Amino acid sequence: MSHAISDDLLKRYDVPGPRYTSYPTADRFVEAFTEQDYRQALEQRRAGSLALPLSVYVHVPFCESVCYYCACNKVITKHHSRGAEYLRHLSRELELQIEHLGSGQSVSQLHLGGGTPTFLSDAELEDLMAMLKRHFRLVPGGEYSIEVDPRTVNATRLQTLQRLGFNRLSFGVQDFDPAVQKAVHRIQPASQVFELMAAARRIGFESVNVDLIYGLPLQTPESFRRTLAQLAELRPDRVALYGYAHLPARFKPQRRIVSAELPGAADKLAMLSASLDALGEAGYVYVGMDHFALPDDALAVAKRQGRLHRNFQGYSTQPDCDLIALGVSAIGRVGATYSQNAKTLDEYVDLLDQGRLPIVRGLALSRDDLMRRAVIMSIMCQGVLLYESIDQGHLVDSRRYFARELEQLEDFAEQGLVRIDDAGVHVTERGWYLVRAIAMVFDRHLQVDQDRARFSRIL
């Protein structure tokens, strides 16, 4: 895999940039978008006859201890009683949304993220699922997933998760090396992860994902190769491989990481190259960006069949969805709008106690935003920009509209990353490794201000 693209190209395009779980990206949201705007979007969906399928995301912010690399919105506490109070406010938020959305709508995708969703007790998770099923219809064959901290579950808990309706798991592993785990304050023996994977297989989960991070303190190319070898033995259905972004000015927990212990750029590049080789040799399909999957996994099948989609949880097999987001800091999408809940637990609770939806910012997309979103998502998911599709869908001459962007892509074409012909732009096999950089060409907001320091690097 790594031989498809040279180290020189990786270095050249290893720049900060968005992950494009949305376009425009969340940093473009404005406080001028209010609760009233969101209610209107819900009501328009309810009244419409051609509504998109529905996805639901629930954010559970609690963690018992802090992982130093973490950039997620979280609340560190050992007081599990806070879970019950949080569920009461989630229930109130859902009721307020349903007043405008209408009950009984079909949901084909549900994801519980955090924080640590398994911070909640089995009884609390059961209450949460019952709450969701009262208001939505979870359709057969949908994707129902939950993020799992291996330190918080055992085989019995995994059985409970399956009984509640979850059919996909995501284990946060990051690295198997004990020294690296200690340096990031997340100690979990490899044997524990292997036992849980074996249990998940016995129980019959449809897909299990494992997260890895390269670029953490005390990692070396040699130590990460050992982790990759253990991963190949573990053989999850999917792998999410992230490059660590050290942004201590933005994320307070990262200030506990000793900067001198972070691997240099050359070692980080070597880890990425070794990962591409190891995953390829282990039989994984490169789906895109930081996602890999076994050939028979639904994600790899969707990639082959051109059915891949992308949302706030990353790559997905589900069709383009509206997303109802619940919980502190959660981001949703309804129609041509994005919205985000209050980022602090106190503000989230206070707004709900006032009987208000906790929307604090968002965005109503312009015609240009919608067109560029279509282009960027097509590039990120199918690896193509077809002029005719954009022309017919948005009533424009896309070659003229994107003349400047197409000129910029000539450099990518010279490097063998894209192929441009009369039909459109096609990402090459080697171009997939840099698909974020290709998509960034069409990001109007990014091109205008060029301020990319707030983003992680694309490799």
**Distance between CA atoms of 200 and 162, rounded to whole angstroms?**
9
Query: Binding site annotation covers 63?
Result: yes
Query: Binding site annotation covers 245?
Result: yes
Query: Binding site annotation covers 293?
Result: no
**Distance between CA atoms of 22 and 372, rounded to whole angstroms?**
11
Alpha-carbon separation of residue 195 from 189, 199, 207, 238 (angstroms): 10, 6, 16, 17
Query: Binding site annotation covers 186?
Result: yes
Query: Binding site annotation covers 310?
Result: no
Query: Binding site annotation covers 67?
Result: yes
Query: Binding site annotation covers 387?
Result: no
3-state SS string for the chain:
CHHHCCHHHHHHHCCECCCCCCCCCHHHCECCCCHHHHHHHHHHHHHCCCCCCEEEEEEECEECCCCCCCCCCCEECCCCCHHHHHHHHHHHHHHHHHHHHCCCEEEEEEEEEECCHHHCCHHHHHHHHHHHHHHEEEEEEEEEEEEECHHHCCHHHHHHHHHHCCCEEEEEEECCCHHHHHHCCCCCCHHHHHHHHHHHHHHCCCEEEEEEEECCCCCCHHHHHHHHHHHHHHCCCEEEEEECCCCCCCCHHHHHCCHHHCCCHHHHHHHHHHHHHHHHHCCCEEEECCEEECCCCHHHHHHHHCCCEEECCEEECCCCCEEEEECCCCEEEECCEEEEECCCHHHHHHHHHCCCCCEEEEEECCHHHHHHHHHHHHHHHHCEEEHHHHHHHHCCCHHHHCHHHHHHHHHHHHCCCEEECCCEEEECCCHHHHHHHHHHCCCHHHHHHCCCCCCCECC
Query: Binding site annotation covers 72?
Result: no
Query: Binding site annotation covers 69?
Result: yes
> What dihedral angle (degrees, nearest 10) is formed by the CA atoms of 46, 50, 56, 57?
-100
Query: Binding site annotation covers 274?
Result: no
Query: Binding site annotation covers 381?
Result: no
Query: Binding site annotation covers 211?
Result: yes
Packing angle of the helix pair 221-234, 265-281 (nearest 10 deg): 20
Specify whether the CB–CB gap between 45 and 339 falls below 8 A: no
Task: Give the residue numbers of the binding site for S-adenosyl-L-methionine.
Answer: 57, 69-71, 114-116, 147, 174, 186, 211, 245, 331
Residue set of the binding site for [4Fe-4S] cluster: 63, 67, 70
Q: Which residues are annotated as a binding site?
A: 57, 63, 67, 69-71, 114-116, 147, 174, 186, 211, 245, 331
